[in-house]
Amino acid sequence: MFDLILKGGEVHDGCGTPGYIGDVGIADGMITEIAADIPTEDAAQVIDVSGLVVSPGFIDMHTHSDFTLIADGRAESQVHQGVTTEVIGQCGISCAPVLSHDAIRKVAPWYTDKARHKTWLGFGEYLDALDESALGVNVMAFVGHGTIHRAVMGDELDPGEPEDIAKMAKLVDQCMEEGAGGFSSGLEYFPGSLAAPDHLVPMCEVAASHGRLYATHVRNRDTEYDLGFAEAIATARQSGTKLQISHIQPKFGAPDYAMNHTLEMIELARRHDVDIAFDVIPHDWNHTLMAAILPKWAQAGSIEDVLKRLADPEMREKIKANPKPMWLIVKAGKWEDIVLLNATVNKDIVGADFAEIGRMRNCHPYDVVLDILLEEGDNLMGCMWSSKSFRDSDVDLCLEQPECAVISDTVAIANDGVLKDHIGSLSGYGWAARFLQYYVRDRQILSLPEGLRKITSIPAKRLGLPDRGKLKPGFHADICVFDPANIASNATAKHPRRYASGVAHVLVNGQLSMRDGQRTDTNAGRVLREFN
């Protein structure tokens, strides 16, 4: 007996092998049979998918939906483009553990006080709160170094003494026991920017002891890209952990050969048994928190402390004089290539570039940046921007590497409900669709089977997710059915909240979350706590 048969589609198993015409039988949330022709007499439901691709659901192994899924678990922006599993807690940022309920606001990315939710302290409590949400996608959660650091050290400019690091490592271990799927760091963000390998290795050793992944947003990907990547490799080598280099493509300011050199560094380390893989964002736009442009000293302390510095004319001049801002494109003054991506108070100018905003306000663009941060007030940490800082040629080169995965680096949101004014990135509503549209179909950097492998079986294997990421009997029925000729991202800088098109059906744990291109009311996602 089948709950559902997907009939006559082009079946791709997610392993990179060519597709074939066949049927997929589903029962009790699992794939139970795949064959050229499954009899339909014993099926409760049959969907004709002829002319469409039947693929494993897409796995986004790097997102920041830690709080948006608490606020609105439907994950509309992801489900509409075939995503069935997200991995949160990246770049050192996670919603737990915290020492007080008030601290949730400080560590939670894309926090909104419009959300009604349970509170938590420990990591397990956070996962329990997430589990009580109606989730449109499955969720695996990493614990972030930045959150761990704040729980032990607060917001001071202090990386910690050995006894503090020991407390952090113990806390990481506790989070792993409570269901964290890995450990992450964000070394360009405060307080990750305070940490050196000496501080990170003990925590990575804990991740290694649990067989979990260490994912890192490295310290620098521009002029000193080689130091940033070498630091990540050294941390993995010393700790024995599996290393995932997040969104590896170099940024504006890096030399032309940086991507090739980085891949050579990785290959040499692998020859000496360092386990390294990496992922890329399928876009030439780079996005981040606007507050990350501030020097470390300007980010220390509470949000109130940061706002006071932004309001002080002398402090502002010192901030603008920072010789090494996180984005060198800012130092170069290429304001026309930087757009405001997300804001609360200033949502009316989202999508405009900073050269344009400067003209509108009759103000230098750098002062506009600091003005906007000040105007956002308590919402300062939710203010985002995006810049044209990546090269397509670097993305192409990475995609050609067999171990490379494709990620969104975004958040699961919706264009209705409490998150309707939020945005995670320019490709947040269409990263997977754009990858299949631009890199696979239009430019043919990869074949369709290889492209699908980048967003299904590769991340599943790397993450240690059992029985997901492939279309095989005995695997969970996380499935995307789409039209390869018409799948497309519809998001633009001016209109970033348009859902992707070309996806016909999406199943999460065997239940239809999309049917005939329309979102259903079903949210069958689960918090994943079993890894191997």
* pLDDT tens figures, 275-301: 999 999 999 888 888 998 999 899 888
H/E segment holding residue 503: strand 503-508
Residue 434 lies in a domain: no
- CATH number of the domain that residue 504 is part of: 2.30.40.10
Counted residue by residue, the chain has a size of 532
Residue ranges of alpha helices (H) inside 272-353 are 296-299, 303-311, 313-320, 328-331
Measured torsion, CA atoms of residues 308, 311, 312, 315, in degrees rounded to the nearest 10: 80
Domain ends where: 322, 355, 387?
Answer: 387
Burial class (CB in 10 A: 0-12, 13-18, 19+), 17: exposed
Using alpha carbons, list the distances in angstroms from residue 217 to 35, 95, 231, 504: 42, 17, 11, 34
Q: What pLDDT shows up at residue 240?
A: 98
Q: What is the pLDDT of residues 427-476, one digit of tens each?
A: 889 999 999 999 999 999 999 999 999 999 999 999 999 999 999 999 99
> 211-247 burial, b if ≥16 CB within 10 A, otherwise e?
ebbbbbbbbbbbeebbebbbbbbebbbbbebbbbbbb
Pair 71, 209 in one domain: yes
Q: What is the mean pLDDT of residues 25-48?
A: 97
pLDDT, the chain, mean? 95
Using alpha carbons, list the distances in angstroms from residue 174 to 107, 123, 248, 264: 18, 8, 29, 36
Residue 371 is classified by DSSP as H
Using alpha carbons, list the distances in angstroms from residue 416 to 76, 347, 413: 9, 15, 9
Residue 445 lies in a domain: no
Question: pLDDT band for position 496 (50/70/90)?
Answer: confident
CB hemisphere CA count around 90 (13 angstroms): 26
Pair 423, 279 in one domain: yes
Pair 129, 175 in one domain: yes
Question: pLDDT band for position 114 (50/70/90)?
Answer: confident
Pair 237, 261 in one domain: yes
Indicate whether 494 pLDDT > 90: no
Indicate whether 315 pLDDT > 90: yes
Residue ranges of alpha helices (H) inside 142-196 are 145-153, 162-177
Pair 243, 254 in one domain: yes
Residue 451 lies in a domain: no
Pair 174, 272 in one domain: yes
Write down the pTM of the prediction. Answer: 0.94
H/E segment holding residue 60: strand 58-60
Decide the pairing of beta strands 511-515 and 83-88: unpaired
CB within 8 Å of 181: residues ≥ 6 apart? 87, 89, 140, 141, 142, 212, 213, 463, 464, 528, 529, 531
Indicate whether 177 pLDDT > 90: yes
Indicate whether 378 pLDDT > 90: no
Pair 9, 122 in one domain: no
Question: pLDDT band for position 117 (50/70/90)?
Answer: confident
Question: pLDDT band for position 316 (50/70/90)?
Answer: very high
Residue 332 lies in a domain: yes
H/E segment holding residue 270: helix 258-271
Which domain range does residue 20 map to? Answer: 4-55+480-484+499-519
Indicate whether 257 pLDDT > 90: yes
Pair 324, 416 in one domain: no
Pair 36, 147 in one domain: no
Question: pLDDT band for position 155 (50/70/90)?
Answer: confident
Measured torsion, CA atoms of residues 193, 197, 198, 202, in degrees rounded to the nearest 10: 110
Residue 492 lies in a domain: no
N- to C-terminal Cα distance for the chain? 31
Decide the pairing of beta strands 4-11 and 46-48: parallel
Tally of domains in the chain: 3
Pair 123, 261 in one domain: yes
Q: What pLDDT shows up at residue 144?
A: 98
Tokens matching residue 401: 């590497």
Q: What is the pLDDT of residues 219-228, one digit of tens each?
A: 989 999 999 9
Residue 180 lies in a domain: yes
Question: pLDDT band for position 40 (50/70/90)?
Answer: very high
Residue 10 lies in a domain: yes
Kindly write down the DSSP assignment for every residue of 372-408, as one continuous string: HHHHHGGGGGG-EEEE----HHHHHHHHTSTT-EE--
Pair 133, 165 in one domain: yes
Pair 277, 154 in one domain: yes
Q: How far apart are alpha carbons 241 and 401 in whole angstroms?
A: 21
Q: What pLDDT shows up at residue 76?
A: 98
- CATH number of the domain that residue 245 is part of: 3.20.20.140
Q: What pLDDT shows up at residue 42?
A: 87
Residue 207 lies in a domain: yes
Q: What is the pLDDT of residues 323-343, one digit of tens each?
A: 888 899 999 999 999 999 888
Kindly write down the DSSP assignment for every residue of 201-267, as one continuous string: HHHHHHHHHTT-EEEEE-S-SSTTHHHHHHHHHHHHHHHT-EEEESS-PPPTTS-TTHHHHHHHHHH
Domain ends where: 371, 387, 403?
Answer: 387
Q: What pLDDT shows up at residue 296?
A: 86
Indicate whether 493 pLDDT > 80: no
Question: pLDDT band for position 350 (50/70/90)?
Answer: confident
* C-alpha closest to that of 64 among 23, 24, 93: 93
Peptide bond into 449 cis (omega under 30): no
Measured torsion, CA atoms of residues 473, 477, 479, 481, in degrees rounded to the nearest 10: 80
Indicate whether 399 pLDDT > 80: yes
Q: What pLDDT shows up at residue 110?
A: 85
